[in-house]
């Protein structure tokens, strides 16, 4: 059951990668850094006396903020340079944890009591987070993310992602706020990665550096990478012939921008 829960948390982290790679066409290789922020952040905060629930929320929010900042800083990057920069970022996080043992706990990693207990003095509740509880939580999160991604082609922001997949210039000409969308995508990817990391750290009660690296390898080789991207991404690009978002079912209203000169798609 513990292995199942761990794999489901890994699935959540991989969904984060899929949002950036498959749905937005951004070759992001830094997902393991966000997993590490979630895992080490949660464990460090708990070790310093923060309640478990608050620690998870703070760690996930910190990762999302970091993801947004990276999206902002890497706004001009695409393709190979973006992959190289985010890969270097993942190694930067890993190296920081290695060379500063107080952050990563050294070879032994960071440990905390397991199974964890959620205590709410206000409500007078104490819940033991058994592996089955983790399975339920991870399944629920993964299912919600999968459902949202599955329906994304029918939502306005899903069409923005489709435009981004086809290329930033086309997306810009269609009135998609490219920089804002990329920042938001990386924030969501980071938050999901951190959630996967935090969940696994709480489940196991220990987080080591090699666990982060294993997550990185599993995420990189997950099926989302290999979703047969025709050009620049794993999902179909914007096209009048696209079966996923036919114009008759979804109306794309280009936003008014001062730089827009290309005609709206029919």
Sites of contact with other proteins (CB under 8 A): 21, 25, 27, 29, 73-74, 76-77, 79-81, 83-85, 87-89, 91-92, 95-96, 98-100, 169, 172-173, 217, 220-221, 225-226, 229-234, 259-262
Q: Which is nearer to other proteins, 38 or 233 (CB)?
A: 233
Q: How far is the CB of 190 from other proteins (least distance, A)?
A: 15
Q: How far is the CB of 106 from other proteins (least distance, A)?
A: 13
Q: Whose structure tokens read 């709206």?
A: 264
Cβ distance 142 to 11 under 8 Å? yes
Q: How far is the CB of 21 from other proteins (least distance, A)?
A: 7
Q: Which is nearer to other proteins, 76 or 249 (CB)?
A: 76
Q: Which residues contact 265 (CB under 8 A, 6 or more apart)?
A: 174, 238, 240, 247, 252
Paired strand residues for 129: 116
Q: Which is nearer to other proteins, 77 or 149 (CB)?
A: 77
Q: Which is nearer to other proteins, 4 or 69 (CB)?
A: 69
Q: How far is the CB of 125 from other proteins (least distance, A)?
A: 43
In whole angstroms, give the CA distance from residue 203 to residue 133.
Answer: 9
In whole angstroms, give the CA distance from residue 74 to residue 82.
Answer: 7
Q: Whose structure tokens read 């209203």?
A: 253
Q: How far is the CB of 56 from other proteins (least distance, A)?
A: 27
Q: Which is nearer to other proteins, 244 or 260 (CB)?
A: 260
Cβ distance 32 to 215 under 8 Å? yes
Q: How many CA atoms lie within 13 A of 262 on its CB side?
A: 12
Provide the phi-psi class of 51: left if phi over 0, else alpha when psi is between -120 and 50, else beta.
Answer: beta
């Amino acid at each position: 059951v513990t292995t199942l829960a761990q794999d489901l948390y890994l699935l959540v982290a991989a969904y984060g990668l899929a949002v950036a790679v498959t749905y937005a066409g951004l070759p992001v290789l830094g997902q393991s850094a966000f997993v590490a922020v979630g895992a080490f952040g949660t464990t460090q905060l708990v070790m310093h006396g923060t309640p478990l629930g608050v620690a998870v929320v703070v760690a996930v929010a910190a990762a999302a903020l970091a993801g947004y900042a990276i999206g902002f800083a890497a706004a001009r990057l695409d393709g190979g340079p973006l992959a190289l920069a985010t890969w270097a970022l993942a190694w930067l996080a890993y190296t920081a944890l290695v060379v500063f043992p107080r952050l990563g706990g050294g070879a032994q990693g960071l440990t905390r009591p397991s199974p964890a207990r959620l205590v709410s003095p206000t409500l007078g509740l104490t819940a033991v987070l058994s592996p089955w509880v983790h399975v339920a939580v991870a399944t629920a999160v993964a299912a919600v993310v999968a459902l949202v991604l599955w329906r994304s082609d029918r939502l306005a922001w899903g069409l923005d992602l489709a435009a981004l997949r086809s290329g930033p210039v086309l997306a810009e000409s269609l009135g998609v706020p490219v920089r804002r969308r990329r920042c938001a995508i990386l924030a969501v990817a980071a938050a999901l990665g951190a959630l996967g990391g935090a969940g696994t750290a709480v489940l196991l009660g220990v987080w080591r550096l090699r666990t982060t690296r294993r997550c990185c390898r599993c995420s990189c080789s997950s099926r989302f990478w290999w979703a047969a991207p025709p050009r620049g991404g794993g999902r179909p690009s914007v096209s009048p012939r696209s079966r996923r978002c036919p114009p008759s079912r979804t109306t794309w209203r280009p936003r008014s921008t001062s730089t827009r000169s290309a005609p709206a798609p029919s």
